[in-house]
Copies of this chain bind each other. A is one copy, B any other.
Amino acid sequence: MEQVLTNNLVISIDAMGGDNSPRVVIEGLAIASKKHPDIKFLLFGDSAKVNPILAEFPSLQKHCEVRHCAEMVHNEDKPSQVIRNKNTSMYMAIEAVRKGEAQAVVSAGNTGALMAISKIVLRTITKIHRPAIVSIMPHRTGKYVMLDLGANTECDAINLAEFALMGDILARHALNLEKPRVALLNIGAEEMKGKEEIKQAAKIIKHSHMNIDFIGYIEPHELPNGMADVVIADGFTGNIALKSIEGTAKLVVRLIKDAVKHSILAKFGIPFMLGVMLRIKKTMDPRLYNGAMLVGLNGLTVKSHGGTDALGFSVAVGNAANLVRQNFVTTIKEEIEKVDLDELSQEVFYDMY
């Protein structure tokens, strides 16, 4: 099993994270490997469980190296516990990025643990106070970047301004936009609306030399219209919006299914509608947007949804690979080096009082 990884695109994998690990993880890697044959995978997990499943995928196996870990992080583990155990598959997979053995890590495990270990092991970029969880989301005609989706329950204005900076860089690279439109998520469009930290963040972003195309506030019902390319929120608000969107999309699809099931007439329409339904399902399919990124760290951590399937996991791996190819972490570090956020925010606060 042990083989030298010669190619320089290496991704380390927490094989034990997620609901049906390691099977879903390995099946996901098999899909990803077909699409990205240049990636080598460093798998961290219980080799007694990993190896037999991996043996089912000989063409994937050639691209893998399995490193045995006796322990794993569980869903109910607290961040304060998991950072003390260096023998879990999650810890060791992240550690591989710090050591330079891999350029990114993907895990479907406990989000809080993943963020806590990533912060301890990879450390936060100088000048960034708090890393954030970012995801790429669908709107009517394209995609947008949204952060923070849950890493930081409480955020101050400077945190939000830093998220704007990181989101702008991500949108330029991952969405290939020259000048992304950046907005703060709020409950109204007027300047006086919302929380104090949001109003202050707007001032910092507007008056700073960040060189961001800041378009002001955006309300959640406007997100699907594609008016903003980057949407900034504290982790609590972002998580509430994300889960409200997911729940409603599922509800509508469910209502359609239920209604068709109970209508004889509608059943005759299925053959005509199938193409349309499949296209919409594809647009909204959460698996195709799987793979949230932890940004603001000296290394790339990608979080897969814990309940996703092999296709979903493969998308998260593909996201990680693309960001590595684009040298995302180095770019963020270099661009942030140019901005003095502390000084800017002091100026803004000085103006305010």
Contact of A265 among B185, B223, B275 (CB under 8 A): B275
Task: Flag if B255 contacts A266 (CB, 8 Å).
Answer: no
Task: Flag if B279 contacts A140 (CB, 8 Å).
Answer: no
For residue A78, which residues in chain B have a CB less than 8 angstroms away from its CB?
Answer: 192
**CA–CA, A200 and B82, complex, Å:** 26
Task: Flag if B224 contacts A250 (CB, 8 Å).
Answer: yes
Interface stretch (choices A56-64, A115-123, A233-241): A233-241
Answer whether A187 and B248 are a contact pair too, CB < 8 Å, given A256-B280, A259-B276, A272-B269. no
Closest B residue to A246 by CB, please name it: B221
* Closest chain B CB from A207 CB (angstroms): 23
Answer whether A240 and B185 are a contact pair too, CB < 8 Å, given A195-B154, A221-B247. yes
Contact of A284 among B190, B252, B263, B273 (CB under 8 A): B252
Interface size in chain A (residues, C-beta < 8 A): 58
Q: List, sorted by A's number, 27 A–B pairs whose CB atoms are closer than 8 Å.
A: A76-B190, A139-B251, A140-B251, A187-B235, A187-B240, A187-B243, A220-B243, A220-B244, A221-B250, A223-B244, A223-B247, A224-B248, A224-B251, A240-B240, A244-B248, A245-B247, A245-B248, A248-B249, A248-B252, A252-B252, A255-B280, A265-B275, A266-B272, A268-B272, A269-B270, A272-B272, A273-B273
Task: Flag if B272 contacts A252 (CB, 8 Å).
Answer: no
Interface residue A100 (Cβ < 8 Å from any Cβ of B): no
For residue A139, which residues in chain B have a CB less than 8 angstroms away from its CB?
Answer: 251
Interface residue A254 (Cβ < 8 Å from any Cβ of B): yes
Interface residue A70 (Cβ < 8 Å from any Cβ of B): no
Task: Flag if B272 contacts A244 (CB, 8 Å).
Answer: no
Answer whether A259 and B280 are a contact pair too, CB < 8 Å, given A273-B273, A275-B266. yes
Task: Flag if B279 contacts A239 (CB, 8 Å).
Answer: no
Interface residue A194 (Cβ < 8 Å from any Cβ of B): yes
Task: Flag if A240 contacts B241 (CB, 8 Å).
Answer: yes
Task: Flag if A255 contacts B140 (CB, 8 Å).
Answer: yes
**CA–CA, A246 and B244, complex, Å:** 9
Task: Flag if B276 contacts A272 (CB, 8 Å).
Answer: no
* Closest chain B CB from A248 CB (angstroms): 4
Interface residue A253 (Cβ < 8 Å from any Cβ of B): yes
